[in-house]
Amino acid sequence: EAGVAQSPRYKIIEKRQSVAFWCNPISGHATLYWYQQILGQGPKLLIQFQNNGVVDDSQLPKDRFSAERLKGVDSTLKIQPAKLEDSAVYLCASSPFLTGELFFGEGSRLTVL
Amino acid sequence: DQQVKQNSPSLSVQEGRISILNCDYTNSMFDYFLWYKKYPAEGPTFLISISSIKDKNEDGRFTVFLNKSAKHLSLHIVPSQPGDSAVYFCAARRFQGGSEKLVFGKGTKLTVNP
């Protein structure tokens, strides 16, 4: 079974530029999550999708972050404009049902200079 | 408001000995607890979980204990192996608005020395 795919793995941009991350979850997984993990911190939920509907985006900085899930499968997370404090690893995860057992991708490491 | 706390940023043990990783939580609405393991440059992977109606769950070398009255759980690894060296995250689940929410601790970096 293929795992959660994310790209790019690494991205370096300057502040005020934009960046987009892509995620392809495990086939059949209805729930998709984007987490932000800052160095030394635990993963923090940014947005949660159930199929292609948003379930929770309460911690998403909506003035600069946006996310969508296309046809209930792939998802993109965009940051525009980026700030220095957005430097983090962005983790995508999916789960098939309500077990709490999330399957994570390898993450996309963003460095904002 | 940190609802899930892992107060030890790091832990070092000798190979063959027991590793004990601790986690405290504050929200009584959490009904399920999980441990994830993370190697460098990889995403976290699920390790073991426990329901709030149980006080112990065992899977091979890994055992999780839950003390609901103290709002405390711990992960025991016996015997510890060098391959267990990783960052371990404690996570707690609650249901809100018809969906499940996972809250993660900051992690504990375990180093198992040969």
A104 in B contact zone (CB under 8 Å): yes
Residue B3, burial from CB neighbour count under 10 angstroms (0-12, 13-18, 19+): middle
The reported pLDDT for the residue numbered B87 is 97
Low-confidence ranges of chain A (pLDDT < 50): none
The reported pLDDT for the residue numbered A2 is 81
A32 close to A48: Cβ distance less than 8 angstroms? yes
Chain A positions touching B88 (Cβ under 8 A) are: none
Angle (CA) B80-B82-B84 rounded to 5° is 65
Domain count, chain A: 1
Could you tell me which residues are beta bridge partners of residue A6? A23
The reported pLDDT for the residue numbered B1 is 62
Give residue for tokens 């999980």. Answer: B34
Q: Both tokens of residue A34?
A: 């984007």
**Helix or strand (DSSP H, E) at A7:** strand A5-7
A50 in B contact zone (CB under 8 Å): yes
> Would you identify the CATH topology of the domain B4-113?
Immunoglobulin-like (2.60.40)
CB pairs A-B closer than 8 Å? 57
User: Does residue A81 have a cis peptide bond before it, meaning omega lies within 30 degrees of 0?
Assistant: yes
CATH of residue A65's domain is 2.60.40.10
For residue A106, give the amino acid letter. E
Give the domain range for residue A21. Answer: 5-112
The reported pLDDT for the residue numbered B2 is 77
User: How close, in Å, is residue A101 to chain B by CA atoms?
Assistant: 6
Q: What is the pLDDT along chain B (114 residues), one digit of tens a residue?
A: 679 999 999 999 999 999 999 999 999 999 999 999 999 989 999 999 999 999 999 999 999 999 999 999 999 999 999 999 999 999 999 887 777 889 999 999 999 999
**Helix or strand (DSSP H, E) at B46:** strand B45-51
